[in-house]
Structure 1
Amino acid sequence: MNEALRRAMSNARLSDRELAERCGVDLKTVGRWITQPGRIPRARHRWAACEALGEDETVLWPTAAKRAIKLGPDREIVSVYPYRSGCPAVLWRSLITQARAELTFAGYTNYFLWLEQARFGTALRRKAAQGCRVRFLVGRPDSDLTRTREQDEGVALTLSTRIRVTLAELEKLKDQHGIRARFSDGHSHLSVFRFDDDMIVTPLLTHHVGHDAPTLHLRRHQDNGLFDRFASHTEELWNNGTPLWGDNTHGQT
């Protein structure tokens, strides 16, 4: 019996059927998770269960976590996805939900977040109200760089349009203490999304839009590793960026 899973379900007051619905699996599958402790769900189902139950994967399925432990220089790489669209939406939601101190969205448009994450603005307000620092870096919709990238992408939903959608959504949040946004051109071909000590990185390929970009899920395990290098890159862009609106965080960086 997976006692940790059963206890987490009891604490969350979720039945087998309710957890199955949250994870997108059938009722019998959840039953096997509980009664067969050696059975490890697929990664996307583990993430969904962890989000639904408010528990860490290492608590519910410690064997899966141990299998993922690496000792070499690539140990900060949790998962690799050939396309960003293949990175489960539930993973993004789980990382956002679990973050306590830092949420940084350094995508050139960040448009897909508003499209794929239900009530994204509400979630950001809640995180900021809880003391989490929330930051956005976005490209300038009217810049020469944006126009050049639009020509390269050649899609109907232009880059500038996607940026303006994000700017309109961010405008609704500018009154929230702890949420800041800046313009930057330095991340036009590399998006970095940070959630405390987790990070999703997507390097853009030529003639491709963001959802076609290869994607890395990183988790910090060392000083000056992959995570820290991408974090330093983002901090430099932030420090050199131009605020979208006045500072509403009273001296926070």
Structure 2
Amino acid sequence: MPNERLRDALLRNGLTLEQVAKAVGVDQKTVERWITKNRTPYPKHRHKIAAMARESETYLWPDSIAPERKAETAAAELVQVFPHRNAVPVELWDRLIKEASETVEILVHAALFLVERPRFTKDLTAKAAAGARIRLVFGDPESSSVALRGEEEQLGDGTLAARIRNALTSYRPLVGVDGVEMRFHNTTLYNSIFRFDDEMIINTHVYGFQGAHAPSLHLRRLSAGDLFETYSESFESVWNLAKPATF
């Protein structure tokens, strides 16, 4: 079975078989076999290819990393645990937003706290103009999942939907901006995901608690890691199920 993840990653980054072969010091036919026959490269080659393809080793070759190494690397990916989202320092949010240059992916219900920052949408617009890919997924205010979450968080009938609509008015300037895509989801939001290039804030969700009062994880992506990639794949799954946002 071909390694479609590797093929896609190379194509997405404009890398030819010849370029990869030259970079890692192997024959072009060897690189072709890594793709068409799903052969697994040596570790030193995997690391270099993953860096070139801007993907993790565990994503490109899921079975190549020993379980014990995966566990060790996952622990290294976890930078810090915060008792609740409100405890994440403002300085950390500032740095993540400022330094992101390639990817911003946000999966939330409303993320109203982000647009309380006066320059947030302007910063996203500037990043998109500079070539960054911005993908924002909000809870559909008309959906059953939003209504249920509002009940579970004891917010009162329609409160969460109203909060989402309120947030969307602040995100409206991003409508039609090249490089910015926004969608609505109707899924169970197990975690809010805030990705800025190779770092993430994961806001876990706890039954009966509002998101701001639930624990948060600061993750930093490592090539051989699995933790960051798990949340990245989760974002992608929700994104593929979501529909274009309407304002």
TM-score (norm 2): 0.66
Q: Distance in 1 between matches of 2:162 and 2:190?
A: 17
Say if 1:108 and 1:187, in contact at 8 Å, map to a contact too: no
Say if 2:137 and 2:184, in contact at 8 Å, map to a contact too: yes
The aligned counterpart of 2:165 is 164
Change (3 A) 1:122 1:72: closer
Which amino acid in the other structure matches residue 234 of structure 1? Answer: F
- Higher RCO, 1 or 2 (CA under 8 Å, sep at least 6)? 2
Q: SS state of the match for residue 217, structure 2?
A: strand
Which amino acid in the other structure matches residue 148 of structure 1? Answer: L
The aligned counterpart of 2:97 is 96
The aligned counterpart of 1:16 is none
Q: Distance in 1 between matches of 2:94 and 2:183?
A: 23
The aligned counterpart of 2:207 is 206
Tell me how far 1:243 sits from its aligned partner.
Answer: 1.0
The number of equivalent residue pairs is 176
Q: Distance in 1 between matches of 2:226 and 2:237?
A: 17
Query: RMSD of the alignment, in Å?
Result: 2.1
Tell me how far 1:72 sits from its aligned partner.
Answer: 4.6
The aligned counterpart of 2:77 is 76
The aligned counterpart of 1:154 is 154
Say if 1:200 and 1:218, in contact at 8 Å, map to a contact too: yes
The aligned counterpart of 1:233 is 234
The aligned counterpart of 1:125 is 125
Say if 1:109 and 1:163, in contact at 8 Å, map to a contact too: yes
Q: Which moved more, 1:203-212 or 1:106-115?
A: 106-115
Q: Which runs of 5+ in 2 are unaligned?
A: 1-70
Q: Distance in 2 between matches of 1:177 and 1:223?
A: 33
Q: Which runs of 5+ in 1 are unaligned?
A: 1-69, 246-253
Q: Distance in 2 between matches of 1:189 and 1:223?
A: 25
Tell me how far 1:222 sits from its aligned partner.
Answer: 2.9
Tell me how far 1:82 sits from its aligned partner.
Answer: 0.7
The alignment-based identity, stated in percent, is 34
Tell me how far 1:171 sits from its aligned partner.
Answer: 2.1
Tell me how far 1:189 sits from its aligned partner.
Answer: 2.7
Tell me how far 1:120 sits from its aligned partner.
Answer: 1.1
**1:137 counterpart = 2:137:** yes
After TM superposition, list the pairs within 5 Å mapping 1:1-12 onto structure 2.
none
